[in-house]
Amino acid sequence: MHEIEIAGHSYRFLRMDLKMQSHLSRRLFALVDKVAPDQFKAALSEGGVGNEEVLLPLLKAISGMEDAQFDAIIDPCMKHIQRRAPGGAAWSPVMISNGKVMFEDITVPIMIRLTLEAVRTNLGPSLATVGDALSGLFGSSQEEAQPNPDQALTN
């Protein structure tokens, strides 16, 4: 479990179970497809979540998503986030099961940052690997993306 502070509030990120992680990663592939793999990896990196320059391409991709696709990514992430109550003794869920965000001061940019942090916390290492693999497949030139015909295949 890990904690961060955003806009004067402390948030902690709970671990998703393996099945939820696999569903979330599957849904994120649609987003990775619309954003350059390096930009997606940068958005998930330490400090990338708060970097507007890194987030802009991601936000453009999100704007083109259907509502159901967007909710399928945002909702499980937000349901795995808690916010420290005033006074610091208790933690409250950020979103309840019906999809209602429990704090009126959470804005869209804060929600996106929280979601990216939840993704990074739960899927960071596996998505970094996916980002590396996608970068290899979709390199900067067509030549890089083509397999080497002289390379021997081994089984």
Output 17 or 35, whichever has higher pLDDT: 17
Dist. CA 108–CA 111, nearest whole Å:
5
| Token pair listed for 105 | 């001061």
Rounded to the nearest integer, the mean pLDDT of the chain is 75
In the chain, the N- to C-terminal Cα span, in Å, equals: 41
* Predicted pLDDT of residue 12: 96
Confidence of residue 124 (pLDDT cuts 50, 70, 90): confident
As a whole number, mean pLDDT of residues 70-91 equals 92
As a whole number, mean pLDDT of residues 58-81 equals 88
* Predicted pLDDT of residue 113: 86
As a whole number, mean pLDDT of residues 102-112 equals 90
| Token pair listed for 83 | 């916010």
